[in-house]
Structure 1
Amino acid sequence: MHHLRFLKYFDEVARSGSIRQAAERLHVAASAVNRRIQDLEDELGLPLFERLPRGMRLTAAGELFVQYVRGRESALEQVRSEIEELQGLRRGSVRLVASQALAPQVMPRAVATFRAGHPLVEFQVRIGDHVQALHALRSFETDLALVFNLAPEPDIEVVAQFEQRLVATMHRSHPLAQRSGGVRLRECAEHPLVLPNREAGGRQLLERYLVRSSLKLRPAVESNSFEFLRGCLYHGGAVSFQIAIGAVSDGGEIVAREILDRGFPVGHLVLARLRGRQLPVITHAFTEHLEQALAVTAP
């Protein structure tokens, strides 16, 4: 399968935009990578890259060819997985992009419980938003996406979705944490607000409601890091917002309160894949495992 290695050379140059960087990642000589790129171009009769002073950029023909290469790599992984299943092995690799809200507890628990029965399976888990998830699915960089409020797309197949509500989060010493019921946004606005940036699905859900409301929320802090926002809750009496499944307690230090405002929208945690793509057998098995876990975990 030497020709597959040469296709890998091409794909790595396309990803890095540099023959030198691709050679370093592949642990081969740059001259060998360059020679194989030239061989491919000679065989196809068209340049696949523009040679620029600062690197390599795909031509229109190269854009088409890279989709072929990545689709072929995906198909090969599927065949390898099926062969391993026939041999009675439980090997394979699962690639997933997941929302930040799932990083502290949900995904680690799902991976650990699956690997308890499949100890030879490897996982590549990236944390990202719905935009990054779509890009990763379409570029064959991931097999599955589990993100909040993924918009419908014709080339994306929704495997499952789970209703998720936004909740207010705060330190247990916060005045709003002392009540057993929920809170209203107007009450939250009386305290310093630390909010995810506008690309985050939870923030977009919040903004959707505020468009129809006279209430204005002015954040003291905005960030793309949920870990940073959670840290802010330990200081200055701050309030933040998170989807319920991600509002972990940090040993009871951070608490969540339901938002009581009438008509506040509900979102969905969406498990998705690229439509029509053949996934490895082990990925199908993990998909089923994840669906079952979320059916129990998701409020």
Structure 2
Amino acid sequence: MDERALKYFEVVAKTKSIRAASEVLHVSPSAISRKVAQLEAQLNVRLMDRIGRGVDITESGVRLARYIQDINQKKNDLISDLSEIENLQSGTLRISVGGGFIPDLIDHAIAQFSRRHPGVKLVLQVGGGDDVIDCIKHEETDIGVLLNSPPDTKLDVLYSCPFQALSLLVPTESRWAQLDTITPAELAEVPLALLNESFSIRRAVDLYEVRQEIRLKELMVCNSFDALKNYVSAGLGGTLLPKVCVSKELKNQSFVAVNIEGMHTLDTTVDLVIRKGRPLSASIQAMQECIVTGMKAFNATT
């Protein structure tokens, strides 16, 4: 089968849209349609049905998508195995991670790993906790870092530890910056920018609201840690994040982290996860060591 046609169909199956696949692949919709039609003719099956602006993947299409996924995984595993023979001089390691961990991951774990194994290519997928789990379960990435990994028969937790409590992050010149600790009632008066519900951090915030019987003043919701930081930098109010997510801002004193009364009672863990039953390749083991020993998220609980 044509490798390019398989790649095109894989993206169509994931996006459920030829137009969306076109944007991902930077290939014209007509070229994608032709390749998929060639696959259908070669296999003598219907792989998808057009529905409005999207497509509906048939059962045959679903099975082909799984086959492509398996082939890609085996290919990556083979490259990884061969690179292990050469002492991790080449190969690819894929990591899915919550957006708030990016500075910590790159500055500490990836910097350490890349110095030791400069020939290994690293591919990062950034998103919320749900995105990390989906990437691991569908074998789109090799390992993942997230908060509060839920019990799942398709996941193994390689390492878990208590996570740093959330703090109120405000500009240095803010009136709240003078506080050592803010009460739930005072926190309810702060204009806040918060992450959306796909993030484990937001679920911790929602749990805090319930336990403290308060309603926070949410003036902006988003899926971007940079947007939260920009909101604070603009002097519009504050946000709720762990200190490890804003270590640079705290170091240069552009932000102040205010402790939140009662927030320490939240049961939050930071977890390193892998797909259930997946062999621990040398590259995964090496990155695991760098993450667990190097990242502040796995070594800071206050």
* Interval containing the TM-score (normalised by the shorter chain): 0.7 to 0.9
Matches of 2:200 and 2:275, distance apart in 1: 20
Question: 1:3/1:168 Cα in 2 relative to 1: closer, same or farther (>3 Å)?
Answer: same
Q: What corresponds to 1:106 in structure 2?
A: 105
**Is 2:297 the counterpart of 1:298?**
no
Alpha carbons of 1:33 and 1:134: their partners in 2 closer, same or farther (altered >3 Å)?
same
Shift of 1:268: 1.2
Provide closer, same or farther for how the CA distance between residues 281 and 3 of structure 1 changes in structure 2, counting only shifts above 3 A. farther
Q: Which residue does the alignment assign to 1:72?
A: 71
CA distance in 2, matches of 1:213, 1:52: 47
Q: Which is worse superposed, 114-123 or 227-236? A: 227-236
Q: List runs of 5+ in structure 1 lacking aligned partners.
A: none
Percent identity over paired residues: 22
Note the 1:241-280 alignment, pairs <5 A.
241-250=240-249, 251-261=252-262, 264-278=265-279, 280=281
Q: Counterparts of 1:26-65 in structure 2 under 5 Å?
A: 31=34, 34-39=37-42, 41-42=43-44, 46-50=45-49, 56-65=55-64
Q: Does the 8 Å CA contact 1:78/1:281 hold for their aligned counterparts?
A: no
Alpha-carbon distance in structure 2 between the residues aligned to 1:258 and 1:67: 47
State the SS of the aligned residue for 1:277: coil
- Which residue is 1:169 aligned to? 169
State the distance in 2 between where 1:297 and 1:172 align.
Answer: 26
What amino acid does structure 1 have at the position aligned with 2:172? R
Q: Tell me, in whole angstroms, the C-alpha distance in 2 between the residues paired with 1:277 and 1:233.
A: 41
Structure 2 CA distance for aligned equivalents of residues 52 and 115 of structure 1: 46
The residue that corresponds to 2:148 in the other structure is: 149
CA contact (8 A) 1:166 1:266 kept: no
Does the aligned pair in 2 maintain the 1:9–1:37 contact within 8 Å? Answer: no
Farther-moved stretch of structure 1 (92-101 vs 261-270): 261-270
Matches within 5 A, 1:78-93: 78-88=77-87, 90-93=89-92
Distance 2:187 2:101 in 1: 24
Please state whether the residue corresponding to 1:247 is helix, strand or coil: helix
Equivalent pair of 1:160/1:272 in contact (CA under 8 Å): yes
Alpha-carbon shift at residue 117 of structure 1 (Å) = 1.2
**Residue identity matched to 1:94:** L
Secondary structure of 2:293's match?
helix
Give ranges in structure 2 of 5+ residues lacking alignment.
Answer: none
User: Partner of 2:233: helix, strand, or coil?
Assistant: coil
Counterpart CA distance in 2 for 1:227 and 1:66 is 34
Stretch of structure 1 that moved more, 5-14 or 110-119: 5-14
Change (3 A) 1:147 1:89: closer
- Which segment is superposed worse, 145-154 or 15-24? 15-24
Matches of 2:59 and 2:124, distance apart in 1: 31
Q: Which moved more, 1:129-138 or 1:280-289?
A: 280-289
Q: How does 1:118-137 map to 2 (within 5 A)?
A: 118-137=117-136
Residue 32 of structure 1: CA displacement? 5.4
When the two structures are aligned, how many residues end up with a matched partner?
Answer: 292
Say whether the 8 Å CA contact 1:184–1:260 is kept in structure 2.
yes
The Cα of 1:129 is off from its aligned counterpart by 0.6
Q: Deviations over 1:264-299 (max 9, x none)?
A: 313111211111234653233212221222376433
- Counterpart of 1:193 in 2: which secondary structure? strand
8 Å contact kept, 1:192–1:236: no
* 2:49 aligned counterpart, secondary structure: strand
C-alpha RMSD of the superposition: 3.0
CA distance in 2, matches of 1:75, 1:233: 45
Contact 2:104–2:244 (Cα < 8 Å) also in 1: no
Q: 2: distance between equivalents of 1:105 and 1:23?
A: 30
